[in-house]
Amino acid sequence: MSFRVWLKANAADKVLAPLREELVALFDAGASVLDIGCGTGDLLFRASNKIGKGHGIDLDRQMIQYANNKLVECSATNLRFDCLNALELMQDSYDVVTSTLCLHEMDGGEACDILRQVSTMSGRLLIADYAEAHSLAGRIATEFDEMISGHYSKFRRYRQSGRIPAYARTCNLEVSQAIHSSIDGIVIWELQGKSP
Ligand SMILES: C[S@@+](CC[C@H](N)C(=O)[O-])C[C@H]1O[C@@H](n2cnc3c(N)ncnc32)[C@H](O)[C@@H]1O
């Protein structure tokens, strides 16, 4: 396992544990869930006892390999992980499409293409991503995290553009609720297609 994947599984996933629990609480029992940019698959592993089936996709081959190795070790037969660009998703349908801290990493155009694509696959999108942190410590943590991430310029453009609510407007989606995570600076936005 590379140091990068080890760090993700042993540090970032642990820091994000409260957010995972908040997302799992929003899934209906038995739901089918697609996780875009799933990383190590931590969210779906935590949800596996509640949901009907989970499909995680990520561009990063090493993350997907980690998730698939973990799948062999545990008995979560309702989960599946594929190394795939979200832009290349085949048409399929899910009760929920979710994504955590993924869309801020890309150009706004690409993020909107993904949102448009997945909104045809599910009536319920739960997007957890960066918002304005309330505390100074939260603002510093977000800045620091993004500065070392290698995609700071994309994060800045995401912030300047108005974040997920602005992407939703561009894609003609409605923000039906915005839930502030107990992790300061992260919001779970629930998006739905606008009624005609
Ligand atoms: C900050 S990580 C978050 C991972 C995970 N969602 C979590 O909460 O721990 C963002 C992930 O999105 C993935 N990603 C970025 N663009 C993607 C795309 N177009 N399709 C699929 N995955 C993508 C990256 O490879 C990375 O693993």
Average pLDDT, the chain: 95
**Minimal-distance CA residue to ligand 1 atom 8:** 100
- 58-75 pLDDT tens trace: 999 999 999 999 999 998
Do the beta carbons of residue 14 and residue 42 sit within 8 Å? no
What is the gyration radius of the CA atoms in the chain, in angstroms? Answer: 16
CATH of residue 37: 3.40.50.150
**Minimal-distance CA residue to ligand 1 atom 27:** 39
Q: How many domains does the chain have?
A: 1
Which pLDDT band holds residue 187 (cuts at 50, 70, 90)? very high
Distance, CA 58 to ligand 1 centroid (Å)? 6
Closest CA to 97 of 194, 195, 193: 193
Q: Residue 59: give the domain boundaries.
A: 3-193
The span from the CA of 1 to the CA of 56, in Å, is: 19
Answer yes or no: is pLDDT of 196 > 70: no
- 84-131 pLDDT tens trace: 999 998 889 999 999 999 999 999 999 999 999 999 999 999 999 999
Do the beta carbons of residue 57 and residue 81 sit within 8 Å? yes
Average pLDDT over residues 130-153: 92
Instruction: Measure the N-to-C terminal CA separation of the chain; round to a whole number of Å.
Output: 49
